[in-house]
């Protein structure tokens, strides 16, 4: 009889049956890199942005602290914008799960059924959700809104920055916004969107942990490794 470190195999606890048929590579390298780049950019931009709004360290004790915070905010803002552009490029590309090909079709009966099953699950009205490999349709709607917020945050951020030089090309591209609303309004909007993004981050972490437990399909590890078990029926 085979032995594992002196223990007979018969005595080793049998694993609970796993419904996975195979593993699939769902999130490609660039998707994972962009995800984590966005994550760190959002943390840095929120911290430095909050400081710009309400400086909680005095420049008497920390000389040029506001200058440093603004510098970090602007550089990270540029990195974040490039990262969002890269994600949009990938969205238009050849991948399946991370591209437009995986957009749920509202005219398809099965897609609508899946959407309502997830809505019932999120609102504690139902327990069953079909097992999916990519984004579920409700998450897909949330990500669409999130990217709209990113776009507005990038637009207002660059418009605020462009005010430093109203003769710059940046002002030529973004300055029209001050013809519609005042610059204090743009500042307020940019500040408020930070809280909406923070709300998404909290909900995102909650949902991902919930589904990692529920679906037993490595939701969390997949954003590190890219792989997910295929448990679809």
Chain residues binding ligand HEM by CB under 6 A are: 42, 45-46, 49-50, 52-53, 70, 73-74, 77-78, 80-81, 153-154, 157-158, 160-161, 187, 190-191, 194, 197
Q: Which is nearer to ligand HEM, 38 or 217 (CB)?
A: 38
Cα-based distances in Å from 57 to 41, 68, 87, 101? 22, 12, 35, 48
Q: How far is the CB of 198 from ligand HEM (least distance, A)?
A: 8
Report residue 227: phi and psi, to 5°: -95, 145
Q: How far is the CB of 208 from ligand HEM (least distance, A)?
A: 19
Burial degree of 137 (CB within 10 A; 0-12, 13-18, 19+): buried
Distance, in Å, from the CA atom of 117 to the CA atom of 125, rounded to the nearest integer, reads: 9
Q: How far is the CB of 184 from ligand HEM (least distance, A)?
A: 9
Contact at 8 Å (CB) between 64 and 72?
Answer: no
Q: Which is nearer to ligand HEM, 87 or 228 (CB)?
A: 87
Q: How far is the CB of 167 from ligand HEM (least distance, A)?
A: 17
Q: Which is nearer to ligand HEM, 96 or 143 (CB)?
A: 143
DSSP character for 14?
P
First and final C-alpha spacing in the chain: 36
Q: How far is the CB of 211 from ligand HEM (least distance, A)?
A: 24
Q: Which is nearer to ligand HEM, 69 or 117 (CB)?
A: 69
Instruction: Give me Rg for the CA atoms of the chain.
Output: 23
Q: Which is nearer to ligand HEM, 133 or 146 (CB)?
A: 146
């Amino acid at each position: 009889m085979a032995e594992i470190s002196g223990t007979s195999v018969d005595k080793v606890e049998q694993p609970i049956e796993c419904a996975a048929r195979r593993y699939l590579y769902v999130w490609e390298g660039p998707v994972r890199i962009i995800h984590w780049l966005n994550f760190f950019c959002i943390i840095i931009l929120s911290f430095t942005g909050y400081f710009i709004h309400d400086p909680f360290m005095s420049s008497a004790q920390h000389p040029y602290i506001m200058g440093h915070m603004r510098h970090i905010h602007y550089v990270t803002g540029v990195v974040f914008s490039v990262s969002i552009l890269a994600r949009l490029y990938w969205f238009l590309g050849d991948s399946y799960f991370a591209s437009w090909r995986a957009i749920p079709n509202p005219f398809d009966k099965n897609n609508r059924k899946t959407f309502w099953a997830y809505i019932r699950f999120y609102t504690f009205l139902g327990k069953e959700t079909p097992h999916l490999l990519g984004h579920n349709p409700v998450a897909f709607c949330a990500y669409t809104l999130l990217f709209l917020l990113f776009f507005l945050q990038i637009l207002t951020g660059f418009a605020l920055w462009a005010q430093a030089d109203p003769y710059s090309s940046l002002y030529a591209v973004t300055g029209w916004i001050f013809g519609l609303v005042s610059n204090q309004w743009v500042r307020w909007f940019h500040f408020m969107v930070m809280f909406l993004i923070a709300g998404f981050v909290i909900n995102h972490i909650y949902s991902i942990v919930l589904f990692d437990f529920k679906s037993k399909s490595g939701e969390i590890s997949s954003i590190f490794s890219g792989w997910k078990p295929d448990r679809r029926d």
